[in-house]
Chains A and B, each alone.
Chain A
Amino acid sequence: MKKLFVLALLIFLIIPAFLFAAGDKEQQVVKVAFIAPFTGGNAEMGIAGRNGFELAINEANRSGMFPYKIELVALDDGSVPEQGVAAAQKASSDPAVVAAAGHFNSPVALATVPVFHENNVPMVIWSAIHPDITEIYGKKWKEITRICVTIPLETKAFFDWIVGDLGYKTFSVISDTTSYGKSTLDVFLDEAKKRNVTIASSDMINVGETDFMAILTKIKGLNPRPQALYYSGVVMEGALIRQQMIKAGLNDMMFCAISGLDSERFNEVAGKNAEGTLVVGKGRGEELPKWPAFVQAYKDAGYKEALSVRTAYGYDAAMLILQALKEVGPDRAKLVDAIRKIKYEGIFGTYTFDETGQTTLAAAAYLVSQDGTFVPFEKSEYASGKRKLPGK
């Protein structure tokens, strides 16, 4: 009886041990986090980025080039800094997470950057453009790199195009009260001063508001009326302002912004009133050699969301991390250095990083809303002279 008991005990103890050992070998998992808004006003951009990011990881797992399974940890920051910090902490506290990417909203990125720094997790900023993210508190944290252009670069492109080429000279300005809106506004006003551009009025709004009629009616009363309205903020309020511009009778003013409005959601919400809006957007990839293959891969993967430029940036962010992972293996500290020194051939060109972690690859697109979608300006009927921009 006693012998039988010992035997049973041995069986129960030893067999699971074998099983676990075998399982451990086969199912080693390395995790990579992607943090962006999947809910709220910017959900569409966040989901676009996540799809691209996920596509790259799925391809890597299928390729068999990695001796372990790579798993995506997608965390929603809801465009809210506190939620972003919670997500960053959740990702960093999981030892299997070796790298992270994401963030659409600059205020969220500014809040999470210290978390990644403290935990030595490499973070690739995918779409937030506040200049301070890579140089927060004057510190150039080596964990933080960014693959998109910054507010000053986009604003400079904006002035070259809208003031230089198109000849707009007088603006009214509305900005939201977030750190993104305010710093975009500051950069805009600095540049305006340098280029002798007249600012007729400047107002601020809160994210989440819906009624902007009072400000727009005030602008209607300006004499002489400025040629254009510049908005520093993101999609939802931008679309509502554009819609209410027509309601307030500002049909003869042009509406413009930098990449905060670069989303088809803007055209959807503003409806037919979106027509003629000018936006300096994220660099487009349609003409680039790697684009068709990416479009095909995205289509084959069967995502229900339409492909956008942010999907491609999400893909590049993942591929960059994967290349570093292949070089140095799943180790946070080694990955931090490897990503900083990387030279990666992505969809949009060759990514390298300067001493702050900012990519040297500068890509911006000049877009105009035509028939409910953003098209490259040079190919639009506005450039060919068939349609006329307001305020000229």
Chain B
Amino acid sequence: MARHHLHYSKKPKGGVHLESIFLLQLKNGIMLGCQYSLIAIGFSLFFGVLNVVVFCHGNIASIFLFVSSALLALAIGIGTKLPQLSNIFIVIIIFGTICITGLIGVMIERSIIRPFRKSPGLMTLLITASAGIVIEQVLKNFFPQGSNPQMFPLELGTTQYKLGTFTIFGNEIFIIIVTSLLFLFTFLFIKKTRIGSHIEAISQDFEAAAMLGINVNRGIAITFFLGASLAAVSGFMHGIYYNVFRFDMGGMAGIKGFSASVVGGLGSIFGAIMGGFLMGFVETFAAAYIPGASPYRDVFSFIVVLIFLVFRPSGILGQIVPEKV
């Protein structure tokens, strides 16, 4: 019984048990992981079908946030007169804007990526990086007050649930459930549907798929629609979780998502998910448990990327592809 005093015999004053703090930090990491992995899946899908890195992918999430919040502000304004309609309006607007964002993804592929399909990958990288800057500046200059931080007009799930010392908000549960469903949906879509098998065929061998009569352009367009919509959902999660967004956050989101898909193994959906969560956990736990590390949390997550690139360049789940001759 000499060690008895080491146990918490009473509830500590103020503070909470270390184990439950760990659980809460785990939850914080999952929240970041959900947002990163939804963007990372897009990077992996695009790389899979076209062997290109689409650097404006993060900015697509900001397009969603700007467009949907403008429409929502409008709908909430109308909703004050038609209260019974406003909820349906909101759902329609969110889904509508996700679809619009998906179509923007398709447009980006059609207009600036397809013409460079036969060019070196460097060209696509450069042109999509420029497109990212264009999107950022358009949002900044053409939206009213675009350069200022924007408020997301929708508040969702502000009730708090308690399980002992563990607390979770409604919107956090919502984010976890929706993200898991989307993971499942994307997986089933690629593995179990006809279009999905076309996409997989294109990513295995572009020319052979075309020769076998697969409509390659349609498959690629659907891939871009899917990837851009997932980025839009990631933006939506950001909106309801933090309530604030800025025109320039797409760039960082893109770099994080890209890094996550590299860590997971470019081309692999599961890899992208795992990479996204790994980045989220590294950032959270570095800030939480390494003294003085909070301003350098991004540095820690990028060190992980560096370590992977040096020691396992194929990523967690990627296979080493033999050079095609």
Which residues in A have some Cβ–Cβ distance to B below 8 Å? 39-41, 43-44, 78, 177, 203-206, 208, 210-211, 213-215, 217-218, 220-225, 236, 239-240, 243, 247-249, 252, 268-269, 271
Contact B21 A217 (CB under 8 A): yes
Q: Mark B212-248, 1 if CB is under 8 A from A, else 0.
A: 0000000000000000000000000010001111101
Tell me, yes or no, whether B88 is within 8 Å of chain A by CB: no
Q: A39-B148, A211-B31 are in contact. List 20 more A-B contacts (CB 8 A).
A: A40-B148, A41-B148, A43-B145, A44-B148, A203-B292, A208-B246, A210-B238, A213-B31, A217-B288, A218-B21, A218-B287, A222-B15, A223-B12, A223-B15, A236-B244, A243-B243, A247-B169, A249-B167, A252-B14, A269-B243
Task: List the 9 shortest-distance A-B pairs measured between CB atoms, nearest first.
Answer: A223-B15, A225-B14, A221-B21, A39-B147, A214-B287, A213-B28, A204-B295, A224-B14, A214-B288
Partner of A215, one of B13, B147, B288: B288
A43 touches B21 (CB 8 A): no
Interface size class, chain B: 35 or more
Which of A39, A214, A220, A269 is in CB contact (< 8 Å) with B244? Answer: A269
Contacts of A214 in B (CB 8 A): 25, 28, 283-285, 287-288, 294, 297
The complex places the Cα of A217 from the Cα of B287 at a distance, in Å, of: 10
**Known A-B contacts A204-B295, A214-B287, A217-B21; A223 and B148 likewise in contact (beta carbons under 8 Å):** no
User: Which B-chain residue is minimally distant from A44 (CB atoms)?
Assistant: B148
> Which has the most chain A C-beta neighbours within 10 Å: B12, B149, B167?
B149
B16 contacts across to A, CB distance below 8 A: 220-221
Q: How far is the CB of B209 from chain A (nearest CB, A)?
A: 41
Residue of B28, B148, B245, B283 near A217 (CB, 8 A) is: B28
Q: Which residues of B contact A222 (CB under 8 A)?
A: 14-15
Which chain A positions have C-beta within 8 A of B24?
Answer: 217, 220, 248-249
Report the bound CA distance from A77 to B169 in whole Å: 39
- Determine whether the beta carbon of A210 is less than 8 Å from that of B244: yes
Q: Which residues of A contact B138 (CB under 8 A)?
A: none
Residue numbers in A under 8 Å from B297 (CB-CB): 214
CA A41 – CA B151 in complex, angstroms?
12
A218 engages B288 (CB within 8 Å): yes
A-B contact pairs, 27 of them (CB 8 A): A39-B147, A40-B147, A40-B148, A41-B148, A43-B145, A43-B147, A43-B148, A78-B147, A206-B295, A210-B244, A211-B28, A213-B284, A214-B283, A214-B285, A214-B287, A215-B287, A218-B25, A220-B16, A220-B21, A220-B24, A225-B13, A225-B15, A236-B244, A239-B244, A269-B243, A269-B244, A271-B243
Shortest distance between the CB of A265 and any CB in chain B (Å): 9
Q: Which residues of A contact B160 (CB under 8 A)?
A: 249
Interface pair A177/B21, CB less than 8 Å apart: no
B15 and A221 form a contact (CB under 8 A)? yes
Chain B positions 120 through 146: 1 when the CB is less than 8 Å from some CB of chain A, otherwise 0: 000000000000000000000000010
Closest to B24 in A: A217
Q: Is B18 an interface residue (CB 8 A)?
A: yes
Q: Interface digits, B193-215 against A, CB 8 Å rule (1 contact, 0 not)?
A: 00000000000000000000000
Chain B residues whose C-beta falls within 8 Å of the C-beta of A208 in the assembled complex:
246, 248
Q: Is the CB of A203 within 8 A of B294?
A: yes
- The contact string, 1 if C-beta is below 8 Å from chain A, for chain B 149-162, is 10100000000100
Cβ of B32 within 8 Å of any chain A Cβ, yes or no, is: yes
Greatest chain B CB density within 10 A among A203, A210, A240, A269 is at: A210
Task: Look across to chain B and name the residue whose beta carbon is closest to the beta carbon of A243.
Answer: B243
CA distance A40 to B145 in the complex (A): 9
> Is B249 interfacial (CB-CB < 8 Å)?
yes
Chain B residues, CB < 8 A from A269:
149, 151, 243-244
* Complex contact B15–A205 (CB within 8 A): no
What is the distance, in angstroms, from B289's C-beta to the closest C-beta of chain A?
8
Contacts of B14 in A (CB 8 A): 222-225, 252
Residues of A close to B21: CB separation below 8 A: 217-218, 220-221
Interface-central residue, B16, B145, B246, B294, by most chain A CB under 10 Å? B294
**Measured between C-beta atoms, what is the minimum distance from A56 to chain B in Å?**
25
Chain A residues with CB under 8 Å of B147's CB are: 39-40, 43, 78
CA distance A220 to B12 in the complex (A): 12
- A205 and B160 alpha carbons, distance in the complex (Å): 26
Give the residue of A205, A221, A223, A225 whose beta carbon is less than 8 angstroms from that of B295. Answer: A205
Q: Which of A218, A240, A248 has the most CB of B within 10 A?
A: A218
A65 to B230, CA, bound (A): 63
A41-B148, A218-B21, A224-B14 known; A205 vs B242 contact (CB < 8 Å): no
Q: Which residues of A contact B244 (CB under 8 A)?
A: 210, 236, 239-240, 269
Collect the chain B residues with CB atoms within 8 Å of residue A248's CB. Answer: 24
A215 contacts across to B, CB distance below 8 A: 287-288, 294
Q: Select B242's contact among A224, A240, A249, A268, beta carbons within 8 Å.
A: A240
- CA of A211 to CA of B244 in the docked complex: distance in angstroms? 11
Q: Hey, which chain B residues are within 8 Å of A177, CB to CB?
A: 295
Does A217 contact B25, Cβ atoms closer than 8 Å? yes
- Bound Cα distance from A247 to B149, whole angstroms: 20
A183 to B25, CA, bound (A): 30
A373 to B289, CA, bound (A): 36
Give A268 to B243 CA distance when docked, in angstroms: 11
Q: Is the CB of A204 within 8 A of B32?
A: no
Contact flags B74-102 to A (C-beta < 8 A → 1, else 0) = 00000000000000000000000000000
